[in-house]
Structure 1
Amino acid sequence: MNFVPITDPLFYLVAIPGVLVAGISKGGFGGGLGIVAVPAMALVIGPVQAAAIMLPILCVMDLFGLAAYRRKADWRNLMCLLPGALVGTAIGALTFHWFDADAVRLTIGLVAVIFTLHHWSGTGTRRRPPGPDEGDTMPGPSHVRGGIWGTFAGFTSFVAHAGGPPVQFYMLPQRVDKTLYVGTTVWLFFIVNAVKLVPYSTLGLFSVQNLGTSLALLPLAPIGIWIGVRLHGLVGQALFYRIAYGLLFLTGLKLCWDGIDGLLRVT
């Protein structure tokens, strides 16, 4: 079987930087901008095909991410998020042909923008550096909140590879250690993306051309993760959270733009 990739140079002009940014974000900053690769590819090809091409690359990124963060995660928060994320993934698989991915992007994008603006305009945790004495003023791990946001993360991850923002909604207010934060997201999406391989395959999304294109872009996965890990080590805790909220805001704007653009194209 010949895995003949896409040959259009314009596709690689947008796909290569998109994949690199996704890897850097995933390896260093919790994956906030990990969604950019699919919209970038979708400028040249269909969004469903772009998502199918990106999934194997994300899985390889997850493996390299685990190599860097395998012992570094907030296990309590991971256990709060994971059951809901698996449920959300199943919902996404079962309702794949029912839901409009652009409407999902717009909804998540609006929530991300509002959430970040609320954080920036308030007088809460953003003005206090994280510390061990803040247990009474900051939210901690919660199976209820983790289950809700985890479900959203699993669902949006399946339909649009946009599971990062819901996890950020849950994790960022806790101000956990930056390395534990990234490690938690790496472990969570390692499991979620691996599970997604099965329904993506049964839905017929892994064509020969899609897999060939994934293989062509695959060398970028470890490069992006490596750059992200190096940048993570250079960024302090306070700056990390400023960057994380900034990435969440930019992600929200991007999702809103893509959702509105897609909905207008349909109408």
Structure 2
Amino acid sequence: MNTIALWELAVLAGAALLVGFSKTAVSGANTVSLAVFAAVLPARESTGVLLPLLIVGDVLAVFTYRRHAHWATLWRLLPAVAVGVVAGWVFMLWADDAAVRVSIGAILLFMAAVTVWRRRTGADAAAARPAGAAGGRVKAGSYGALGGFTTMVANAGGPVMSLYLISSGFQKLGFLGTSAWFFFIVNVCKVPFSVELGLIDGHSLLLDAGLALFVIPGAILGKLCVDRIDQLLFERLVIAATVLGGLQLLLR
């Protein structure tokens, strides 16, 4: 990370802007950011650089939507998420950069496939149910464990949790508020694991200090645009970018 070119810094700044935007508008956009970070930086180290930026975005999202969280859903998910995070940490103990790059690429493609499947099978119709009505221990456990693993390995828990919250009947503000608190709690808890793995250090934090400046305007832009976004078009663009990013990582 000591030899980052100026154009690479510009690309990372754009991805950091998208981190903030995704936290206050469309969470699925995060998959594009992690693909960019993993492409510009060594894949393994990119997860440690991205995590503090995600936390900055989480703080802004919590401040914006703090009153709209559904805490019963959060308490239902967190135990299984903890199991998934620990499993991801164990994986990261032995995984080298190539293994992490392939894992991130595969996770991105899997998340894109799940999103497409959800839309084609009409899973979004579940949103008509009351918030939390579709919840259950098995469902929360499976989504929580997968979300914890993917967020530890690739910071890619967003699509998993988005699918869970949408299928549980959350409308926009409840979705954003619950998601904001969820990822703030989980991402903060991931910090000691990332430090122990050597993914967060003085060099990565120095890079984060500059990139964090771009997360803030991204979050403000997301808040201003959240009611004006053509959701269908944006999701299609995010899916397309995610697939391209996943393939790029797998074929490097």
The Cα of 1:5 is off from its aligned counterpart by 7.3
Corresponding residue for residue 25 of structure 1: 22
What does the per-residue CA deviation read over 1:122-173, in whole Å, with 9 as the maximum and x for residues that have no partner?
4x355x6954xx46xx961222211111111111111111111211232222
What does the per-residue CA deviation read over 1:62-110, in whole Å, with 9 as the maximum and x for residues that have no partner?
1111100111123232222222112211111122133533443344334
- Identify if the C-alpha distance between structure 1 residues 113 and 57 changes in structure 2 by more than 3 Å, giving closer, same or farther: closer
Corresponding residue for residue 182 of structure 2: 188
Corresponding residue for residue 118 of structure 2: 119
Corresponding residue for residue 11 of structure 2: 14
C-alpha distance in structure 1 between counterparts of 2:167 and 2:210, whole Å: 38
Cα RMSD (Å): 2.8
Contact 1:23 1:225 in 2 (8 A): yes
Corresponding residue for residue 146 of structure 1: 140
Contact 1:105 1:258 in 2 (8 A): no
Aligned residues between the structures: 248
Corresponding residue for residue 202 of structure 1: 196
Corresponding residue for residue 260 of structure 1: 250
| TM-score, with structure 2 as normaliser | 0.85
Aligned to 2:40, what secondary structure does the other structure show? coil
C-alpha distance in structure 2 between counterparts of 1:162 and 1:91, whole Å: 15
Corresponding residue for residue 172 of structure 1: 166
**Residues 155-164 or 199-208, more deviating:** 199-208
Corresponding residue for residue 70 of structure 2: 74
Contact 1:88 1:153 in 2 (8 A): yes
C-alpha distance in structure 2 between counterparts of 1:224 and 1:175, whole Å: 27
Aligned to 2:67, what secondary structure does the other structure show? coil
Contact 1:38 1:47 in 2 (8 A): no
The Cα of 1:7 is off from its aligned counterpart by 5.6
Aligned to 2:50, what secondary structure does the other structure show? helix
Corresponding residue for residue 95 of structure 1: 91
Identity %: 25
Corresponding residue for residue 58 of structure 1: 54
Contact 1:125 1:173 in 2 (8 A): yes
